[in-house]
Structure 1
Amino acid sequence: MQRQWTAPAPADREDGGLPVLPELAERFAGAVDRTAPEPVGGSAELRDAACGYWSRRGLWTDPAHVVVAPGAEPLLLALLASASGGDVLLPRPCAAWYAPLVRLVDRRAYHAPVPAECGGLPDPFALLETVRRIRAEDGRPRMLLLSVADDPTGTVAPPELMHEVCEAAVAEGLLIVSDETWRDTVHHPHGTVLLSPAEMCPDDVIVLSDLVGAFTPAGWPSAIARFPATERGVELRARVLSLLTAVRSGLPAPVAAASAYALDEPPPVRARTAAAARTHGAVAAAAYRALTAVGALCRPPQAGRHLYADLDELRGVLAARNITDSVELERELSGRLGRGVAGGHRFGDPPHTLRVRLSTLPLLGAADAQRQRALDAPDPLELPHVKEALAAFDTGFRALIEDGG
């Protein structure tokens, strides 16, 4: 029997987000009377700010190699449409929005599995095998899209794996697109080594980062891309700009002003970024303990605001409740937890798997005031509303697998 189409899972941005940083709001409000449209691809000020941001992370960049767009989705779409055809390789699992954009430009997407606790990087041997399979089917593998600090798994790729994957991809002639949206959300930055593929293969990597990951509210979409300083990079950037211009895809002036301020990383921004990473890390660790205590497999979260849980070890118990795949698991958990969760089928995993992505954001509270208290607290786990949210989280999973649930 053919499965019915299911509506997209509620996006994390529908949970609101963290309270807007006051200094960021001031920059936004100060630009509301600017009536002239921002240049497509970003103003000189904004591109300079992006260069400073990357330079502080060891990636020297010239403004001529930068493009800014209203969100990672339109930026990646323009990039896919501008590249010279061919098939796209994706990790499995990967961010839910990757594959639909590949299909939208009439390209084929192939998935290569990600080893446990390895960020959004595929196993290098599986990657090479996938490339060989594509070519055996008369395909043309051209691009590899990956993420070093991963959505959906919340893990960070180890440097040794990064080297192996980059070497394999470059040897096979693949252009690497590195989604680094979550790189500034590492929970324990002093104990986690995070490298960009652009540090290893500067001529073969386009870096993409959505500011919504660490800096700006979800309602102010802004993303930046860094192109290689090569002839191919210059040509590809020009094509992307042409497409963005055709659809008038520039940032509104208030968003551009706020984005430039955020990318300059003054003390208030740095403090907020650190507080958010610390708070999400504490809550994610508590949720991880709750998941593993009931028998779920889960990759220890290292970055971002997501956990990726595998309940296959509980398949027998769940089957007794008519839960046999990730579609049914998504529906059941959304009801039990009182908010939308996303099954693994939305991230490239086969539907028969019992995997689900969970967000830590709702555990910080439902209102801005509660989330601000969580950000300000030395230990957010001691706050009553966070304790209550984590208790409900634990109860929801325990009731799912216990008799009478």
Structure 2
Amino acid sequence: MSGRKVSPNLALDHLVAQRRAAGESIVHLGFGESRLPVFPPLVEQLVAGARRNGYGPVAGDLAVRESVAGYFARRGLPTDAEQIVVAPGSKPLLMALQAVVPGDTVIPCPAWNTYAPQAELAGKTVIRVPIPEDCGGVPDPAALRASIHTARASGHDPRLVVLTLPDNPTGTLAPAATVREICAIAEAEDLLIISDEIYRDLMHDPTQTVLSPAEVVPHRTVVLTGLSKNLALGGWRVGVARFPAGAWGTDIRERVTSYASEVWSTLAGPMQQVAEYSFAEPPELIAHLAASARLHGALARAVHRIVVGAGAKCRAPQAGFYLYPDFEPMREKLAERGITDSTSLQHHLLEELGVAVLDGRHLGDDPQALRFRIATSMLYGQTEEEQWEALRSSDPLRLRHVAELLTRIEESFAKLIP
């Protein structure tokens, strides 16, 4: 850990909070927290579980694991409760997998800023592979195969590949054909796939389906998800993993539970109560999720129009609440302001225009590129009342508190180009 700093997205969020407390007005587009109020039935479940103060099984009580198994079964993945482990967030599960599965790790470039540090903490070499032109969250298949062979020729041992379906930071979903191609490579090269599907339930188009690699190569795919994004429960820390059936999957699960027993023991009892209810997906929760996905989509599309209007290239958002604009077309004009890379671009937006974004360098991108991540999930309101109003509105873009922020973002990006 020597020389390591706090995760850059968390550090940025802390900086923005400090500066706002000091009286500065900052539009926060730099932190991927789903800033929505807690759905009341979840509070009821938390209270109902408050007396659950025993440790319980490391993997989680049978009832919560059966509920999670049902969740996966409804998504085309027949699952036994013995394939499930629950934990205080998906982050610890990711770390556990990096720690117990041998070999080096392949990740897309750009990718969520935690994948690479966790692999490095586990003593692995990180192999970054560019994403395809049309989407993020997965490595370009042709480049993936070439990178694996190059890494092995250099003495490395790539054995894990991380996919994000749908993606953070681009807000897009890899097409089914691309997923199948990556699965074929994983099969040929004997890779374990870690499929991070924490944004799966936030597709903007409810008719668009997600193909999990666990549907294609179930024997070599671990699926991760949680409640931080879909139900805005980041601070409650609820994550789950689905392991493959069969000997290999059982071995990995046992290694993860062994790791968990020495690190976090088990998911807190009250949170298991919340998870059991949530993964059972009662009708009222499904309706709340649908409203959340509609709101995320409306704001992401609105900000997408703004950045494209300012001259950036940007993939259209499909899920979650992220955008990944590329201001390369405006490089010459930005250079007139001394903006020549992603760091100077982030700095100018924050210091001169009062807009916080996350520098693409922190996501493994080329530091000289003019790319950054935008999170639109902090635009729904400063109070629970405003957030509920946004959730319930048929046209949240017309709400005064939302429209004012969008106007400020548009004006800021208009000022970015001389």
TM-score band by shorter chain is over 0.9
Aligned in 2, Cα 1:372/1:64: closer, same or farther, shift over 3 Å?
same
- The answer to whether the Cα contact below 8 Å between 2:161 and 2:191 also exists between their aligned partners in 1 is yes
1:51 counterpart (66, 69, 75): 69
What's the CA shift for 1:121?
1.3
Determine the C-alpha separation between the residues in 2 that align with 1:60 and 1:256. Answer: 21
2:402 paired with 1:386: yes
SS of corresponding position for 2:134: coil
Instruction: Give the aligned partner of residue 204 of structure 1.
Output: 220
Contact 1:298 1:310 survives alignment (8 Å)? yes
Pairing 1:160–2:213 present: no
Q: CA deviation at 1:297?
A: 0.8
Displaced runs of 4 or more, over 3 A: 11-16, 335-340
Secondary structure of 1:362 counterpart:
coil
Q: Does 1:138 align with 2:155?
A: yes
Question: Which shows bigger deviation, 63-72 or 328-337?
Answer: 328-337
Distance 2:250 2:209 in 1: 30
Aligned partner of 2:329: which letter?
A: E
Structure 2 residue matching 1:203: 3-state secondary structure: helix
CA contact (8 A) 2:31 2:375 kept: no
Deviations 1:346-400 (A, max 9, x none): 1110111111111111221222211111110011112111111111111111111
Other-structure match for 1:74: 92
- After superposition, residues 172-183 of structure 1 pair within 5 angstroms as 172-183=189-200
Matching residue of 1:349: 365
Corresponding residue for residue 58 of structure 2: 40
Contact 2:69 / 2:78 at 8 angstroms: preserved in 1? yes
Q: Is the 8 A contact 2:38 2:231 kept in 1?
A: no
Q: In terms of mean alpha carbon deviation, does 57-66 or 319-328 score higher?
A: 319-328
Q: 1:210: how far off?
A: 2.5
- Tell me the alpha carbon deviations over residues 10-50 of structure 1, each in whole angstroms, 9 at most, x when there is no partner: 35668672100000011011222322124322111110110
For residue 332 of structure 1, report the CA deviation from its aligned partner. 2.1
Q: Deviations over 1:170-210 (max 9, x none)?
A: 111111110000010000121x2311000011111111112
Alignment partner, residue 25 of structure 2 = none
Residue 330 of structure 1: how far off its partner (Å): 1.8
CA shift, 1:7, in A, is 7.2
CA-to-aligned-CA distance 1:211-258 (integer Å, 9 cap, x gap): 212125111011111111121110110000000001234222222111
Distance 2:306 2:56 in 1: 47
CA distance in 2, matches of 1:228, 1:396: 48
Q: Could you tell me which amino acid in structure 1 is paired with residue 72 of structure 2?
A: W
Given the alignment of the two structures, is residue 362 of structure 1 paired with residue 378 of structure 2, yes or no?
yes
Between the aligned partners of 2:34 and 2:166, the Cα distance in structure 1 is 22
1:24 matches 2:42: yes
Q: 2:311 aligns with which of 290, 295, 299?
A: 295
Q: Which amino acid aligns with 2:118?
A: L
Offset of residue 266 of structure 1: 0.8
Q: Distance in 2 between matches of 1:276 and 1:336?
A: 32
Deviation for aligned residue 1:339: 5.2
TM-score by length of 1: 0.94
Alignment of 1:333-344 (within 5 A): 333-335=349-351, 338=354, 340-344=356-360
The reply to whether residue 65 of structure 1 matches residue 58 of structure 2 is no
**Structure 1 stretch displaced more, 6-15 or 24-33:** 6-15
Q: Give 1:187-226 correspondences, 5 Å limit.
A: 187-190=204-207, 192-226=208-242
Distance, in Å, in 1 between the alignment partners of 2:7 and 2:117 is 14
Change (3 A) 1:209 1:254: same
Q: What letter matches 2:93 in structure 1?
A: L
- Does the CA contact (< 8 Å) of 1:181 and 1:209 recur in 2? yes
In structure 1, C-alpha distance between the alignment counterparts of 2:33 and 2:228, rounded to whole Å? 13
Match of residue 164 from structure 2? 147
Aligned residue for 1:357, secondary structure, equals strand
- The answer to whether residue 341 in structure 2 is matched with residue 325 in structure 1 is yes
Q: Which amino acid aligns with 1:142?
A: R
Whether the aligned pair in 2 keeps the contact of 1:117 and 1:156 (CA below 8 Å) is no
Aligned match of 2:122: 105
Q: Which amino acid aligns with 1:8?
A: P
* Matched-pair identity in %: 41
Q: CA deviation at 1:119?
A: 3.4
The answer (yes or no) to whether the contact 1:326–1:355 under 8 Å persists in 2 is: yes
Q: Does the residue aligned with 2:218 lie in a helix, a strand or coil?
A: coil
In structure 1, what is the Cα distance between the partners aligned to 2:299 and 2:318?
12
Summarize deviations over 1:54-97 as a string: whole Å, max 9, x none: 011010100111111111111111111111x2111001111111
- Root-mean-square deviation (CA), in Å? 1.8
The match for 2:281 is: 265
Report the more deviating stretch, 325-334 or 387-396: 325-334
Measure how far apart 1:141 and its partner are.
1.1
Change (3 A) 1:253 1:356: same
CA contact (8 A) 1:341 1:358 kept: yes
8 Å Cα contact 1:70-1:249 kept in structure 2? no
**Contact 1:158–1:193 (CA under 8 A) maintained in structure 2:** no
Paired with 2:7 and 2:281, the residues of 1 have a C-alpha distance of: 38
Structure 1 CA distance for aligned equivalents of residues 336 and 271 of structure 2? 50
Q: Which residue pairs with 1:396 in the alignment?
A: 412
1:303-340 CA distances to partner (integer Å, 9 max, x unpaired)? Answer: 00111111111111222212211122222223456453
CA distance in 2, matches of 1:148, 1:14: 16
Q: Name the amino acid aligned to 2:40.
A: P
Kept in 2: contact 1:216–1:259 (CA 8 A): no
Q: State how far apart, in whole Å, the 2-side matches of 1:201 and 1:7 are.
A: 32
